């Protein structure tokens, strides 16, 4: 049985997304932040793979017939910067919530209390 590269990449993106959703459903702040980050990574890889991998393609218009599409790389680079800033902001919100409520539970109450 041969496994294609497309199946492996799609399975990898699916697993990372599933792990991100699982972590987002946890009751503590830190796993929720990790889950959001994992989903952001999965979306970035998805966008990058939708741009297709070109072999022997020029990155800039020139004399060649085949030219690589720079749009997915630009989108992913922008998404990485925005994702980093958003992650920092969410971590700051989680720290502020812990300081004010005394717990790191996402609803502000410890279970059973």
51 is written with which tokens? 């741009």
Instruction: Give the span between the Cα atoms of 18 and 4, in whole angstroms.
Output: 21
Alpha carbon distance 102, 113 (integer Å)? 13
In this predicted structure, what is the pLDDT of residue 113?
A: 63
Cβ contacts of 64 within 8 Å, gap of 6 or more: 57, 58
Query: Tokens in use for 2?
Result: 């041969």
> 26 Cβ partners below 8 Å, 6+ apart?
32, 35
Per domain, the residue ranges of the chain are: 5-52+69-101
pLDDT at 1 over 70: no
For 48-89, what is each residue's pLDDT tens digit? 888 877 777 777 766 767 777 778 888 899 999 999 999 999
Give per-residue pLDDT as tens, 4-13.
888 899 999 9
pTM for the model stands at 0.79
- In this structure, the chain runs to a length of 113
pLDDT digits (tens, 9 = 90+) for 87-107: 999 999 888 988 888 888 877
């Amino acid at each position: 049985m041969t496994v294609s590269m497309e199946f492996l990449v799609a399975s990898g993106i699916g697993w990372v997304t599933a792990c991100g959703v699982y972590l987002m459903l946890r009751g503590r702040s830190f796993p929720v932040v990790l889950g959001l980050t994992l989903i952001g990574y999965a979306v970035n890889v998805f966008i990058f793979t939708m741009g297709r991998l070109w072999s022997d393609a020029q990155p800039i218009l020139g004399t060649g017939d085949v030219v690589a599409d720079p749009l997915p790389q630009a989108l992913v680079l922008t998404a990485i910067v925005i994702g980093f800033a958003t992650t920092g902001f969410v971590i700051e919100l989680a720290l502020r919530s812990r300081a004010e409520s005394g717990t790191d539970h996402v609803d502000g109450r410890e279970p059973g209390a």
